[in-house]
Amino acid sequence: MPESVRILGIDPGSRFTGYAVIDVFGADVNVVAYGVLKLPQKKPVSERLKQLDMLLRQLGEEHCPGEVVVEEAFVAVNARSALVLGQVRGVAIVAAGASCPVFEYSARAVKKAVVGYGQADKGQVVQMVKTLLHLPEAPPQDAAEALALVLCHMYSRRFAARLEGAR
C-alpha cells in the first residue's frame, strides 16, 4: 500500500516567504495550499522574525505536515543579507518543523529536479510548477519556489523508495 504524506515547503525570505502544502499518496499529488507570507519592510528584523515565527506555527497547526522542506541558504554578496536570511531560515526550521522531520535542498538541486536545469531562471520554475501541478494560473514567484521545493522532495522520496525496493 502506498505511503501517504503531507509536505510543507518553505522558501524563506526576509520580506516575502513562500509556502506550499501538498499531499502525496503513491503517484497522486494534491495541492492543498500555497501562498506568500508578506512581512512589513519597515519593521526591524527582530519584529519580522517574530511575525514569521507566529505565521509559520499557524501554518503548521492548520495543515499538520508530516515533513517540512526548506531551501538551503546560498552565499550572498552582501554579508548582512546573508545573515538575515540565515536567521529567517532558522525561524522557519524551528517554527514549521517543530514536530516533524525537516529536509533541505539547494536552489540548484530544486531547479534541476523540477525544470531539468540547475541554472533555470525564476520564470522557468514558475511555468514548470504550473504545468506539473496542473494549476489554473501561475502562482506568485515565492509560492512557486515553495511548490518547487515540495516537488523536489517528493521526487527525492520516490527515488529513495525505489532504491530501497531494489534491495
Task: Write down the catalytic residue from 3, 11, 47, 67.
Answer: 11
Helices (runs of H) and strands (runs of E) counted in the chain: 5, 5
Task: Write down the catalytic residue from 53, 62, 71, 72.
Answer: 71
- The gap between the terminal CA atoms of the chain, to the nearest Å, is 18
Chain centroid offset of residue 122 CA: 14
User: Is 142 marked active-site?
Assistant: yes
Cell 509536505, residue? Answer: 7
User: Is 61 marked active-site?
Assistant: no
Single-letter amino acid code for the residue at 79 = A
User: Is 71 marked active-site?
Assistant: yes
Distance (Å, whole) CA 114 – CA 56: 25
| Rounded-to-10 torsion of CA 135, 98, 102, 120 | 40
The beta-strand segments (E) located in 100-145 are 102-105
Task: Write down the catalytic residue from 104, 142, 145, 164.
Answer: 142
Distance (Å, whole) CA 64 – CA 7: 9
List residues with catalytic annotation. 11, 71, 142
